[in-house]
Amino acid sequence: MAEVAATWLDKKVPDLKEKTQILYANQVSKWIVPILNDKNTPLDLMTIKDWITYFDEVKAQGSAKTAGTILVRIKSIIGWAEKRGEVKPFNPVLTLNVNDIGEQASVGQRVMRFDEIAKLWIQIESSKATPATKACLQLIYITGARQSEVRLAKWEHFDFENGIWTVPPENSKTNKAIRRPISTKMKSILDTLAMVYGRKGYLIPGGNPHKPMTTHSINRYCCRMWDHLFAKYKMPKFLPHDARRSLSTLLSENGIAPHVTEKMLGHTMRGVMAVYNKHDWIKEQAEGYELYCQLIEDAILESLNNKG
């Protein structure tokens, strides 16, 4: 299995997004190669019982959801290898379903309230993190952009004359450019970053100024912010990606139309809208962003007043 997985990583995975490449390489190195190598059974000779034993071990070392995720990955690897004639067809693992050996990965449901976002904002401002780290999480929360879209943003992607931020296709999950208006609050954060780091290269530099901040760094920082907020307020767990669901839900509750929030999130329009409507709704997006930032500001002010 190690050899098949290595071939898959070498031949198939480089065609995928960088973040996906890292995820798949980590899954192979942590959950697939070491455990299956210990079994010392050739891939083509593994029985259904061997696979069940393997997934029981993954579940014991990780979780039922980990086992489910790894089953999906192994089926992808073996299915790919089978089509290339590198393994025998009809491997018994292909008959297993996630519920046979573990659980489906949970779909995120966390929606933060305005008062929670306000508390997070205050915590970010009071932290001792670098300006880039603070700005990265703040921009994620006020734009609803994917973490990678913010981390990989460069100054050249911003048209300040027309007030437009264009995420290039290579930074977009959909492989299509995403156009968002630059809100007043976003402009203020960008001005601060410009004063500290200049207006060249990456907007959010990492330890090496010529490279962007890593996913691990911003996830770790967000986790630290949650640790503080849990200690103070028993706030439920949140992740950077929850900012997207929160923006969409809160703006919908405040009268912003679904097709506008979909554009704010960088989603591809579906059905007839996808075929006939190529409009980015920039004006409507701008109104949505200004409203969202104002509601966050109101919540921050209320939170500070309550402290006083």
pLDDT tens digit sequence for 155-207: 999 999 999 999 999 998 888 899 999 999 999 999 999 999 999 999 999 98
Q: Answer yes or no: CATH 3.30.70 is held by domain 2-101.
A: no
Select the highest-mean-pLDDT range: 54-63, 248-257, 265-274: 248-257
Interatomic CA distance for residues 15 and 255, integer angstroms: 40
Is the pLDDT assigned to residue 21 strictly greater than 70?
yes
> What per-residue confidence (pLDDT) applies to 276?
40
pLDDT tens digit sequence for 279-296: 688 999 999 999 999 999
Structural domain boundaries of the chain?
A: 2-101, 114-307
Is the pLDDT assigned to residue 63 strictly greater than 90?
no
Q: Counting beta carbons within 10 angstroms of the beta carbon of residue 154, is it exposed (0 to 12), middle (13 to 18) or buried (19 or more)?
A: middle
Interatomic CA distance for residues 165 and 202, integer angstroms: 14
Instruction: Answer positive or negative: Cα dihedral of 282, 283, 287, 293.
Output: positive
CATH classification of 114-307, choosing from 1.10.150.130, 1.10.443.10, 3.40.710.10, 3.30.300.30?
1.10.443.10
290 against 65, higher pLDDT: 290
Go through 262-290 and write b for each residue having 16 or more CB atoms within 10 A of its CB, e for each that does not.
Answer: bbbbbeeeeeeeeeeeeebbbebbbebbe
Helix or strand or coil: residue 82?
helix
> What per-residue confidence (pLDDT) applies to 277?
44
Is the pLDDT assigned to residue 108 strictly greater than 70?
no
> What per-residue confidence (pLDDT) applies to 271?
52
